[in-house]
Amino acid sequence: AIYLGAGNLHAYLGGLGVEVMANSDNVVRCGLTPKFVDAREVLRVLDTTPLHDPVAVPEVLTGGGLRYPVPTPDFRISVYEIDGSITFTAQGTELLLCTSGETVELNRGQCAVALDGELVELVGTATVYRIGVGATR
């Protein structure tokens, strides 16, 4: 996993990318897309400072997940490789994204929302990303 702050130019060249952004309506595209491209705005907001080490080293969570630390209170992200079952309580509204296998009724590419305080049980063999707002309690 990597963390890129605002203004960093990036592109996906292959593989799976789960991109989480803070709440914003300021997405600027500079190419490689059929969507609107605003080259002048890209040049205005582009941050060309070299990224020395954008890799986010995960912290091991109790229960087998990995939390990727980010230097912002806007969101948090963790991932679980499930082979059996895990149970947790949602801390605020969370998005659960299944990227492989099946868990409960979620198949690869599907997601669900867990509300604050809701008990969540994930069963099966799967990779599930857990995305929420702010630091965990």
Residue 44 annotated to the active site: no
State how far the Cα of 123 lies from the Cα of 98, in Å rounded to an integer: 12
State how far the Cα of 64 lies from the Cα of 78, in Å rounded to an integer: 10
Q: Active-site residue among 29, 40, 108, 137?
A: 29
Whether the CB-CB separation of 133 and 92 falls below 8 Å is answered with yes
State how far the Cα of 129 lies from the Cα of 111, in Å rounded to an integer: 9
Query: Tell me, what amino acid is at 19?
Result: E
Q: Which DSSP string do the residues of 110-124 spell out, in sequence order?
A: -EEEE-TT-EEEEEE
The secondary structure of the chain in percent helix, strand, coil, rounded to multiples of 5, reads 5, 35, 60
Q: Which residues are catalytic?
A: 29
